[in-house]
Structure 1
Amino acid sequence: MQSSNRQTGEKGEEMAAAFLSAKGYRIIERNWRFRHWEADIIAARGDRLHFIEVKTRQSLRYGRPEESISREKMNHLKQLAEEYQYRHPKWKYIQFDVMAITVIDETAKEVFLIEDVYF
Structure 2
Amino acid sequence: MRAKDVTGIVGEEIAAEYLSRQGHQVLERRWRGARGELDLITRDGAQLVAVEVKTRRGTGYGHPFEAITGPKLARLHRLLLEYCAAEHRMHDQRRVDVVAVVLSGSSAAHSAEHLIRGLEHLKDVG
- 2:19 corresponds in structure 1 to 20
Residue 113 of structure 1 is aligned with which of 101, 121, 126?
A: 121
How far did residue 60 of structure 1 move? 0.6
SS at match of 1:99: strand
How far did residue 10 of structure 1 move? 0.4
2:11–2:54 CA contact under 8 A, matched in 1: yes
Instruction: Give the structure-1-normalised TM-score.
Output: 0.92
- 1:55 corresponds in structure 2 to 54
Identity fraction in percent: 33
Residue type of the partner of 1:99? V
Q: Alpha carbon RMSD of aligned pairs, Å?
A: 1.4
SS at match of 1:6: helix
| 5+ long unaligned stretches in structure 1 | none
How far did residue 92 of structure 1 move? 1.6
Q: Residues of 2 paired with 1:43 and 1:101: CA distance?
A: 18
1:4-31 deviation line (CA, Å, top 9, x unaligned): 1000000000000000011110000011
Q: Which moved more, 1:86-95 or 1:36-45?
A: 86-95
Q: Residues of 1 paired with 2:35 and 2:85: CA distance?
A: 17
How far did residue 70 of structure 1 move? 2.1
Residue type of the partner of 1:96? V
How far did residue 59 of structure 1 move? 1.0
Give the total of aligned pairs. 117
| 5+ long unaligned stretches in structure 2 | 110-114
